[in-house]
Structure 1
Amino acid sequence: MIARVPPEPRRIRRRAALSLNHNVHQGYYGEVFVRAIGVAAGLVASRADLDVNGVDMGFEETSDRGGIRAPEIKVQVKTWSAPRSSGPYWDFDGLTEVQFNKLAGPGFRTPRFLVVVVVPTDSPAYCSADDGQLRLSHAAYWVSLRDQDPIADPGDKRRRRVRIPKANLLTPDSLRSLLDDDPEVGR
């Protein structure tokens, strides 16, 4: 009987770290952050192929809710690493007038919301994990611009400040509540 020599263990090659542009990385993190909240809420998340109409993703309920079949919403996700506030509001200056108009005013068949994710300035602080939890930093806030008038002759270089209530913390429960058929919320 000839003894076989076991093969050497396979070495795992380390690949070079993925190098994303800081803004791309931050924006991608924000979208994944919001998507994680949607998944925790038990909603079906979908991503737009192109952001040409002011929407990054949508969330849909898989069952009927209050007579509405498969309610859904659409959201534009923005990230913010240097938040400014005044009293009970965040003062967000990250939308151009063109972007604002794609969310503002009534008449959308599907309610639209702006979701702003407040993120750490350094990407290594985006998340931490141990055997008990995965923690994503920091928090997301939502606002409906349905009651805002669209800007006549909007510019793609001019900014439009949006005041976001600090009370509008995005959680699985608050995200599910945005799917309610409440005209005061987002239609």
Structure 2
Amino acid sequence: MYITTQKEEFSYAYINAVASAAGYSFQIAPRPLDLVGVDVTITGIALPGSRRRTRIDLQVKCTSQQLLDQDFVKFPLLIKNYDELRNDNPDDDPLLLVVVLIPDLQEDWLQQSETELCLKRCAYWVSIRGQPPTENQSTVTVYLPRQNIFSVEVLQALMQRIARGEPI
């Protein structure tokens, strides 16, 4: 398997683990959705008082590049992806960028024992919905706040906001 495919699959496993632990279903998007920037969909059942089933789409990136500074993950994103993510059509499900940072060496991505399975490093998320177009030609640097860790608690909070019809 190519390393890029391994990274993609690892990032999906990471997000699947978080979604499952949070009580939501995880689905890799079919090809037509992938072509418009959706890699993964996370779905929850309708909550009491909610007007709809909760669903969030993710565009997922995985890298071992050193992109961290004190406050942000600085990710170079293709303009095509940037434009997909900044879509502000209120009829569309929220679409977030999730960047999974992993160690350089593949053998360091995961540690396993009889008592735990540890996926290494960390995933961060950001919504750039409604951001202005860029004049850049190939990439734009997206700043993901380091406090935006893609965790069980954060995913549950995001899904609750969606269920209430609140923007992310």
Match of 1:99 among 63, 77, 81: 81
Whether 1:165 aligns to 2:145 is: yes
Q: Give CA deviations for 1:10-47 in whole Å, capped at 9, x if unaligned.
A: xxxxxxxxxx1111111211111111111111101111
Whether 1:26 aligns to 2:3 is: no
- Specify the alignment match of 1:49 in structure 2: 30
Whether 1:75 aligns to 2:58 is: yes
Indicate how the Cα distance of structure 1 residues 67 and 169 shifts in structure 2: closer, same or farther if over 3 A, else same.
Answer: same
Q: What amino acid maps onto 1:89 in structure 2?
A: F
After TM superposition, the structure 1 = structure 2 runs for residues 125-164 of structure 1, keeping only pairs within 5 Å, are: 125-151=108-134, 158-164=138-144
Do 2:96 and 2:126's aligned partners in 1 also have CA atoms closer than 8 Å?
Answer: yes
Which runs of 5 or more structure 1 residues have no equivalent in the other structure? Answer: 1-19
Which runs of 5 or more structure 2 residues have no equivalent in the other structure? Answer: none
Q: What amino acid maps onto 1:114 in structure 2?
A: L
Superposed displacement of residue 151, structure 1: 4.1
Do 1:65 and 1:71's aligned partners in 2 also have CA atoms closer than 8 Å?
Answer: no
Supply the RMSD in Å over aligned alpha carbons: 1.8
- Output the CA distance in 1 between the equivalents of 2:80 and 2:99: 17
Larger Rg: 1
Q: What amino acid maps onto 2:68 in structure 1?
A: S
TM-score, L = length of structure 2: 0.88
Superposed displacement of residue 96, structure 1: 0.6
TM-score, L = length of structure 1: 0.80
After TM superposition, the structure 1 = structure 2 runs for residues 31-42 of structure 1, keeping only pairs within 5 Å, are: 31-42=12-23
Give structure 1 regions of 4+ aligned residues with deviation exceeding 4 angstroms: none
Superposed displacement of residue 66, structure 1: 4.6
- Output the CA distance in 2 between the equivalents of 1:92 and 1:135: 24
- Output the CA distance in 2 between the equivalents of 1:116 and 1:138: 11
Provide the aligned length of Structure 1 versus Structure 2: 162
Superposed displacement of residue 128, structure 1: 1.1
SS of alignment partner, residue 155 of structure 2: helix
Do 1:112 and 1:144's aligned partners in 2 also have CA atoms closer than 8 Å?
Answer: yes
